[in-house]
Amino acid sequence: MRSSNHSSVSPIAGGAEPSTPGPEWPRLVDTEAPPACCLPLLEVEIAHKGFRDPKRGEHRVVLEQLSFSLQPGELVAILGPSGCGKTTLLQLIAGLDRGFQGDLRWNGQTEDGHPRLGYVFQNPRLLPWLSLRKNIELVLDGQSHKRRRVDDLLEAMGLIDFADMHANRLSVGMQRRGALARAFAIQPQLLLMDEPFVSLDAPTARQLRLLLLDICGRTRPSVLFVTHDLREATMLADRILFLSTSPARITSEVAVRIPRESRQREDLVERAYAAVASRFSGLYP
């Protein structure tokens, strides 16, 4: 299973019709997913996920017939309207919520083969009573050279001068960077990120996106991240999956063909972004 359960060029439900492809298709962006290279790290097949509405007591379907796969080393962005079920999807994949109908297959298996997993939550979730350094060392328990690894990461995040400060003394932006450092520290095989760069100032967000690409280039994790920022998705992702409103399913998919080593080129990203934005105009301005 490589592509999702949708026609690859279909518009999002309720959205604008796709415009005629421009010159960037299929050079920088394409609706054809690249051919699968090998066994997917993850195959998602969610038949049904719902919640009981706390007020009315009714069962509400949030995800339905949603499927896609993730290749080793692939960076995939998930976009969709607010409240459609993006965080819910990440939580199912992380195993934080097992109440759904469907299957998650890791390296082709449903039981074993769960990879080392990093999760950057929407809220940084650092332990307020510990220093920033201790928050990160905590996930490296028992590993040698952890101080060196933590210092390197804090340096890269521009946080080294704040390493011994309690987490609750840090600004929200600094806590976000700390949460990213904590997720990178375990060198995850799969990194799940829920709007990781939101509420950071533009230069810091750009610096961290480039850092993510740099780390991905070196350690090749698979990354699945939620964003509302189509430009960010175009800069980072190899594929962008578009979700519909609840019950969410994948309605469209775009492959971004900017080579990883050229993602820092704003001109290329801007052209690819313009092509994707024009095709899905009105939905993700």
Residues that bind ligand ATP in the complex, under the rule CB under 6 A: 51, 54, 62, 80, 82-88
Task: Provide the minimum distance between the beta carbon of 218 and ligand ATP in the complex, in angstroms, as a whole number.
Answer: 30
Report the residue number, 25 or 68, with the smaller CB distance to ligand ATP.
Answer: 68
Q: From CA 149, how far away is CA 140, in angstroms rounded?
A: 9
What secondary structure letter does DSSP report for 19?
P
Task: Provide the minimum distance between the beta carbon of 118 and ligand ATP in the complex, in angstroms, as a whole number.
Answer: 18
Classify burial at 159, counting beta carbons within 10 Å of its beta carbon; exposed 0-12, middle 13-18, buried 19 or more. buried
Task: Provide the minimum distance between the beta carbon of 91 and ligand ATP in the complex, in angstroms, as a whole number.
Answer: 8
Report the residue number, 245 or 264, with the smaller CB distance to ligand ATP.
Answer: 245
What secondary structure letter does DSSP report for 282?
T
Report the residue number, 29 or 84, with the smaller CB distance to ligand ATP.
Answer: 84
Terminal-to-terminal C-alpha distance of the chain = 31
Residues 6+ apart with CB under 8 A from 41: 70, 71, 72, 74, 106, 107, 115, 189, 190, 222
Task: Provide the minimum distance between the beta carbon of 169 and ligand ATP in the complex, in angstroms, as a whole number.
Answer: 27
Report the residue number, 86 or 133, with the smaller CB distance to ligand ATP.
Answer: 86
Report the residue number, 83 or 95, with the smaller CB distance to ligand ATP.
Answer: 83
Q: From CA 47, how far away is CA 130, in angstroms rounded?
A: 41
Q: From CA 272, how far away is CA 281, in angstroms rounded?
A: 14
Q: From CA 79, how far away is CA 92, in angstroms rounded?
A: 17
Task: Provide the minimum distance between the beta carbon of 83 and ligand ATP in the complex, in angstroms, as a whole number.
Answer: 4
Q: From CA 212, how far away is CA 7, in angstroms rounded?
A: 31
Task: Provide the minimum distance between the beta carbon of 208 and ligand ATP in the complex, in angstroms, as a whole number.
Answer: 19
Report the residue number, 53 or 270, with the smaller CB distance to ligand ATP.
Answer: 53
